[in-house]
Amino acid sequence: MTSKKRQPLLDKHKDRSPSVIHRRRFIKKSTLSAFSLALGTKLVFGANFPNKMLPIGLENDHEFFNLPGKSPHLIVLNNKPINAETPSEYLDDPLTPNELFFVRNNGIPPTDIDLNQWTLTIEGEAAQQKKVFTLADLKSKFKHYTYHLTLECGGNGRSEFNPPAKGNQWSTGAVGCAAWMGVRLKDVLEAVGVKSNAVYIGYYGEDTHLSGDPNKVVISRGVPISKALEEESLIAWEMNGTALPLLNGYPLRLVFGGYPASCSGKWLSKIVIRNKVHDGPKMNGQAYRVPCSPVAPGSKVADEDMCIIEGMPTKSLITYPKSGAMLKLNQQLPIRGKAWTSTKSIASVAYSIDFGASWQECQLEAAKNRYAWQSFHAKISFPEEGYYEVWAKATDVLGNTQPMLLPGWNPKGYLNNACHRIAIKVLKA
């Protein structure tokens, strides 16, 4: 049982005695036995189970609360501001229903909304002119487009980082894909005029700061001008064929697939075209940034050594069955899920039932358009009764693939794209 991975530890302490090695064997075996006892069945392929992890079948369930316009199945992480995620089994639809779409707010949504008075102002150092559009202007003067776009919070999966990172402890459900309808941001920017020195755009919304100060900006993030001018970058007012939900930005918002959802500003009222990287609230310091170079877990990183998050990592999620499913030994288990990327598309998705010792390909559907998630499915047979975990791993067309375990630690707990896993118990036939 003393593998090469353990050898440096034995060298360090200069203790190779059989008693030390046997004690380590006992700790390993007793841990697996404890897992099996808690699970109520054998931990199949337990020898492959990663160290310092807890079987997903032992994790606690969540409590559920009601939010206006939202399903009671959403898991509320915070109520001021409102932040709520979607359990993975409720992300099985081709498009995420509005009532199940996650909520990530930084302030308090506006309540006194008059559609006839709502305007969008475009200005900035790199704008050729300042221009104000009403909602009616946007809807009548520009061609409408609909794209299936996946939005994911940059902190999705934060709860898995250790040492823990501050912020909402998202598990897997701060993600969703919807059919967004509106006008291309590039068409509106071109109608205003973009100077050759344009570098970034930034947004401002009509939400109120938690302090209640109406003059304090809640959040004002943005994207590089190249991202703003992409075909799929939208100013949207519809989601899945109906008006945006209030908690998701009604009546107007930005939608940028492939970037952290914080870039897709809600309750949109102003866009600034900048001749430098936008410097609004939540653009500086450590917000939505990761270390420019890898750091040791728990390290303190200076602001100047943090880089802005742009493209989100390749990722996948098993959406059926729900973790904890049980079946008979002679039954096949159908699995389904979603995979997404900020690159052109997902190339393959594979599953493992032996903690990554081997992988089998899933069937993968094509994306509706760039930045839409892709559905995958497979049927799994199990060799014996006991406890299993099904792990999913996506790979994009550039060869970027998900790590089995946590990617590089970072102070804010961003960009966790470790393989998703669900617990399965196989019973006697």
- The reported pLDDT for the residue numbered 276 is 98
Pairing relationship of beta strands 175-184 and 144-152 according to DSSP bridges: antiparallel
Predicted pLDDT at 25: 35
364 touches 374 (CB < 8 A): yes
The set of residues, in sequence order, having a beta carbon less than 8 Å from that of 218 and lying 6+ positions away, is 106, 107, 205, 207, 208, 209, 210, 281
CATH class of the 315-427 domain in this structure: mainly beta
What pLDDT is recorded for position 62?
Answer: 57
**Residue 261, SS3 per DSSP:** helix
Query: Residues 87-106, buried b or exposed e (16+ Cβ, 10 A)?
Result: bbbbbbeebbebbbbbbbbb
Which tokens sit at 271? 């866009």
The β-bridge partners of 242 are: 239
Q: In angstroms, rounded to a whole number, what is the distance separating the alpha carbons of residues 392 and 371?
A: 20
- Average pLDDT of each block of 10 consecutive residues along the chain (429 residues)? 34 33 38 63 83 68 72 91 96 98 96 95 98 98 98 97 92 98 98 98 97 95 98 98 97 98 98 98 96 94 96 98 96 98 98 97 98 98 97 98 94 97 95
Q: What is the DSSP string of 262-276?
A: GGS-SSEEEEEEESS
- d(C-alpha 387, C-alpha 427), whole Å: 9
pLDDT of amino acid 48:
86
How high is the pLDDT of residue 200? 98
- Domain residue extents for the chain: 75-308, 315-427
pLDDT at 320: 98
Judged by DSSP in three states, 13 sits in helix
Other C-beta atoms within 10 Å of 321: how many? 18
Residue 344's nearest CA partner among 417, 257, 252, 271 is: 257
pLDDT at 67: 87
- Helix/strand/coil for 297: coil
pLDDT of residue 65: 63
Residue 79 has a pLDDT of 85
Confidence (pLDDT) at 23: 32
Domain 75-308: CATH class, spelled out: alpha beta
The one-letter code for the residue type at 90 is Y
At 297, list the tokens. Answer: 């877990």
What pLDDT score was predicted for residue 50? 82
| Sheet with 75-79: strands ordered across | 75-79, 82-85, 103-104
DSSP 3-state of 77? strand
C-alpha–C-alpha distance, residues 371 and 380, integer Å: 28
Tell me the β-bridge partners of 425: 326, 387
How close are the terminal C-alpha atoms of the chain, in Å?
33
Residue with tokens 């808690």: 38
Q: Residue 68 has what pLDDT? A: 87
The Cβ of residue 311 has, within 10 Å, a number of other Cβ atoms equal to 14
